[in-house]
């Protein structure tokens, strides 16, 4: 069973324009709305792959109702905690030249009572053969050690955890020992205190330290440079697939979904890697934060080249 936890969901509003004019009039060519937030994106992708998950976290207001209805229509099971205030709207502005400007709202303030309610809900799902996906930002009122607290809570009942976070959220959660992590290049550079673009050798060294600390699966997404994978003793890298990209937004969430799906289906190392590369490549071809179809994923898997390290 897979449980995705989205602390700070959003309506993702994606707009296409020719060129962003700062301080002037901008005419929008196309608008797309999606139920979003990293964990919700993961649940949507898992559903498209043919798997299932339970999406939980915090929802509020009319935006929250919209997200709940969208997930229901997609036949994704949900178990959200309802809070006061309005779930945020995040606006993503795409220019013709590929530039992306993101305007993310803060979201509602979460009370201690609601946090305790969520923790109790998660503990109820915890058990062997359950994977918790912790991904994305947290809203006001939530402590930055929340992911670490969840990891310790569900580990005590035999569950596994997949972590996708950055900054202090990432650092503090690492202390609790997640089972799977998916940092990207920038997140690893920030974690290591690098003020320059790290080489693949440096990224592999950092990832190797995580593996030495007992994290069984480390997937490092590197954008156009592909990705690296440390799956126990199995180490490999893959060049990025050649696809017609619309947007890189959601590619990381897609890889997280592939990792979760592979864990739940008990896929082998090579099949896991092929799934990760194909799903993330497929995600960049879609408009907004929509997941790729299973048909596209299966076609892209045939193009994956695995180079063992």
The beta-carbon contacts of 265-271 under 8 Å, at least 24 apart in sequence, are 265/51, 269/229, 269/231, 269/232, 269/234, 269/236, 270/306
- Reported as half-sphere exposure (CB side, CA atoms, 13 A), residue 202 has a value of 14
Report DSSP letters for the chain, one per residue: -EEEEESS-EEEEEEEES---TTS----SEEEEEEESHHHHHHHHHHHHT---EEEEEE-HHHHHHHHHHHHHTT-EE-PEE-SS--EEEEEEEETTS-EEEEE---PPPPHHHHHHHHHHHHHH-STT-EEEEES---TT--TTHHHHHHHHHHTTT-EEEEE--HHHHHHHHTT--SEE--BHHHHHHHTT-SS---HHHHHHHHHHHHHTT-SEEEEE-GGG-EEEEETTEEEEEPPP----S--TTHHHHHHHHHHHHHHHT--HHHHHHHHHHHHHHHTTSSTTPPPPHHHHHHHHTT---EE-
Gyration radius of the chain over CA positions: 19
- Both structure tokens of 84: 């006061």
- By annotation, the residues acting in catalysis are 253
d(CA 252, CA 220): 10
């Amino acid at each position: 069973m897979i449980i995705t936890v989205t602390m700070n969901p959003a309506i993702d509003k994606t707009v296409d324009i020719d060129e962003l004019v700062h301080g002037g009039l901008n005419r929008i060519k196309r608008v797309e709305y999606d139920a979003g937030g990293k964990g919700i994106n993961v649940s949507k992708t898992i559903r498209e792959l043919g798997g299932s998950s339970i999406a939980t976290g915090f929802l509020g207001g009319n935006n929250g109702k919209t997200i709940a209805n969208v997930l229901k229509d997609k036949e994704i099971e949900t178990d959200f905690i309802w809070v006061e205030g309005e779930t945020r709207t995040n606006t993503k502005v795409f220019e013709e030249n590929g530039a992306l400007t993101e305007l993310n709202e803060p979201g509602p303030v979460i009370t201690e009572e609601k946090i305790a309610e969520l923790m109790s809900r998660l503990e109820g799902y915890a058990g062997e053969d359950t994977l918790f996906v912790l991904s994305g930002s947290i809203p006001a009122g939530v402590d930055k050690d929340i992911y670490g607290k969840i990891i310790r809570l569900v580990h005590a009942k035999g569950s596994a955890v997949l972590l996708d976070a950055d900054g202090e959220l990432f650092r503090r959660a690492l202390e609790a020992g997640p089972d799977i992590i998916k940092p990207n290049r920038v997140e690893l550079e920030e974690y290591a205190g690098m003020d320059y673009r790290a080489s693949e050798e440096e990224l592999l060294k950092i990832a190797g330290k995580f593996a030495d600390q007992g994290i069984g699966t480390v997937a490092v997404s590197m954008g156009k440079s592909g990705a690296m994978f440390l799956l126990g003793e199995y180490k490999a890298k893959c060049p990025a697939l050649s696809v017609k990209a619309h947007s890189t937004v959601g590619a990381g969430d897609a890889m997280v979904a592939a990792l979760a799906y592979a864990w739940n289906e008990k896929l082998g190392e090579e099949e896991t890697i092929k799934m990760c590369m194909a799903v993330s490549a497929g995600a960049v071809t879609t408009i907004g934060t929509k997941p790729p179809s299973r048909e596209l994923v299966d076609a892209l898997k045939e193009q994956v080249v695995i180079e063992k390290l």
